[in-house]
């Protein structure tokens, strides 16, 4: 999603600053301490290490940030929170003995070789038109506990968990949410710098206990997600699994190669055997040409469709990002009064996908961006929500969503640019879009 760049960019900047600070601190410590520590047991690619375990390679000690196996610390190291499995602990002396154990650390990482001890191995399933607003998990995140929070009501509160959470106090009828975004490689993924195992441990049990169905969304505008095998995909899913995990979403916007996309699709297809009820969605940029050309997906979207059609994947949907069309011309959208009419354009995008690729409506989802889009003349109103939901219900669409939960509140004054924390409009109320979707869906 486009505006994920706004908030996640700040998060990555903070992480980067931490990395630089840690590096400088490490240099200072090295200079101050003339006694170089002995090298720990030599790293072995075949050994499994627990969080806190120490190894050495090429005269450097490394400490495991969580469970890891096969990740070379020389090329996979960073501070805790970087999303990398190892921390560079500094230079060491001696060669280090050859390791044969499974790691002796007592760290608190929750990941395991099968995807993390958080997951239960179970999943839920989706029936009917599924509604789940996207939640940028880094927006208002508690960086000390890794617990998702939101300030959409004006007060920062947990999304789920506890009597003061959003679901407990303001939105008891919200039964679905899409968590955005996991980036990196499956098994070593991170959420804006938070390790996947840590994020799962902090949030999956609370979502499950609250009875909220959730989709794990990967990729996005500011990062990519790759997964090279069925086994790796199985492990990734296991980490987040519970009776309320209903989908894995691949938001493909950030330069994945055709090979990356093919591997991702095939890994998902293979995972169907283990998780037959789980739905895999592919979130793609689209136009909504109304000039008879049926213009929609770009070349990346076309590559995704080709990969899906060449695979054995059956439980999938195409989630169209019905946003940011640009200037109002029939080659990109449905035009009304010189601008893109966003509700009708969303419908046109679905019709174009069906026409071009033969995708049935039951496998199409729509995700508008509420309020002002990055293309500021593209504005999704409450009336557009009515239009989109009416079409979705009448045609049996697989789902409707929106970007994003934290934006479902008015800005203090109307803005002509998209904000990550409000909808850039005045005159609406907090959670008004969410409530409109819920009311329209019935």
**Does residue 70 register a pLDDT over 80?**
no
Superfamily of domain 115-441: Glycosidases (3.20.20.80)
Is the per-residue pLDDT at 314 higher than 50?
Answer: yes
Which of 110-119, 392-401, 412-421 ranks highest by mean pLDDT?
Answer: 392-401
Cα separation, 422 vs 379, whole angstroms: 13
**For 202-211, b where at least 16 C-beta lie within 10 A, e where not — what string?**
bbbebbbebe
Backbone angles phi, psi at 388, to 5 degrees: -65, -45
pTM (2 d.p.):
0.76
Listed by start position, the domains of the chain span: 9-91, 115-441
**Given this model, what pLDDT does residue 364 score?**
99
Give the Cα separation of 89 and 85 in Å (integer): 13
Task: Report which of 366, 364, 406 is spatially closest to residue 137, judged by C-alpha positions.
Answer: 406
**Token reading at 41:** 């047991």
- Structural tokens at position 288: 């909504």
Please identify which residue in the block is written with the tokens 């991170």: 190
pLDDT exceeding 90 applies to what percent of the chain? 72
C-alpha span between 39 and 59 (Å, rounded): 7
| Chain centroid, CA 388 distance in Å | 24
Residue 386 is predicted with a pLDDT of: 99
**pLDDT per residue over 299-308, tens digit each?**
999 999 999 9
Kindly tell me the burial class for residue 327, based on how many C-beta atoms sit within 10 Å of its own C-beta (0-12, 13-18, 19 or more).
middle
Q: 3-state class of 45 per DSSP? A: coil
**What is the rounded average pLDDT of the residues 223-240?**
98
63: which strand partners? 54, 87
Task: Quote the tokens at residue 208.
Answer: 């499950």
Q: For the chain, how big is the Rg over CA atoms in Å?
A: 23
pLDDT tens-place string over residues 92-122: 887 554 433 333 333 333 333 334 457 999 9
CATH 2.10.10.20 corresponds to the domain 9-91: yes
Q: How confident is the model at residue 255 (pLDDT cuts 50, 70, 90)?
A: confident
pLDDT digits (tens, 9 = 90+) for 190-201: 999 999 999 999
Higher pLDDT, 295 or 255: 295
């Amino acid at each position: 999603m486009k505006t994920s760049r706004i908030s996640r960019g700040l998060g990555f900047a903070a992480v980067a600053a931490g990395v630089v600070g840690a590096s400088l601190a490490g240099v200072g410590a090295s200079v101050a301490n003339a006694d170089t520590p002995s090298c720990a047991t030599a790293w072995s690619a075949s050994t499994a290490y627990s969080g806190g375990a120490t190894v050495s390679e090429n005269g450097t000690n490394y400490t495991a940030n969580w469970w890891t196996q096969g990740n070379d610390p020389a090329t996979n190291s960073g501070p805790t929170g970087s999303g990398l499995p190892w921390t560079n602990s500094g230079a060491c002396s001696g060669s280090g003995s050859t390791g044969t154990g499974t790691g002796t650390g007592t760290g608190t990482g929750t990941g395991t070789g099968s995807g993390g001890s958080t997951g239960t191995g179970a999943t839920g399933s989706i029936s009917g038109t599924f509604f789940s607003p996207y939640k940028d998990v880094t927006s208002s995140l508690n960086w000390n506990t890794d617990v998702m929070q939101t300030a959409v009501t004006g007060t920062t509160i947990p999304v789920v968990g506890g009597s003061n959470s959003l679901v407990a106090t303001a939105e008891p009828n919200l039964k679905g949410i899409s968590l955005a975004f996991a980036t990196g490689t499956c098994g070593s993924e991170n959420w804006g710098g938070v390790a996947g195992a840590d994020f799962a441990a902090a949030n999956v049990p609370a979502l499950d206990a609250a009875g909220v169905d959730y989709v794990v969304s990967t990729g996005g505008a500011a990062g990519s997600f790759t997964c090279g095998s069925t086994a790796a995909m199985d492990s990734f899913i296991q980490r987040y699994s519970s009776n309320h995990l209903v989908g894995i979403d691949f938001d493909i916007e950030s330069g994945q190669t055709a090979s990356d996309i093919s591997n991702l699709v095939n890994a998902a297809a293979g995972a169907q055997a283990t998780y037959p009820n789980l739905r895999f969605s592919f979130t793609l940029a689209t136009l909504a040409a109304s000039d008879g050309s049926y213009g929609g997906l770009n070349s990346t979207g076309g590559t995704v469709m080709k990969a899906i059609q060449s695979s054995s994947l059956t439980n999938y949907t195409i989630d169209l990002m019905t946003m940011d069309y640009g200037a109002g011309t029939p080659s990109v959208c449905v035009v009304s009064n010189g601008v893109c009419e966003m509700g009708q354009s969303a419908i046109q995008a679905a019709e174009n996908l069906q026409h071009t690729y033969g995708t049935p409506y039951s496998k199409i989802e729509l995700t508008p961006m509420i309020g002002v889009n990055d293309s500021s003349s593209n504005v999704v109103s409450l009336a557009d929500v009515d239009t989109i939901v009416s079409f979705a219900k009448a045609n049996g669409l697989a789902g409707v969503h929106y970007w994003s939960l934290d934006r479902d509140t008015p800005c203090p004054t109307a803005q002509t640019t998209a904000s990550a924390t409000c909808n850039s409009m005045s005159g609406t109320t907090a959670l008004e879009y969410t409530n409109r979707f819920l009311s329209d869906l019935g």
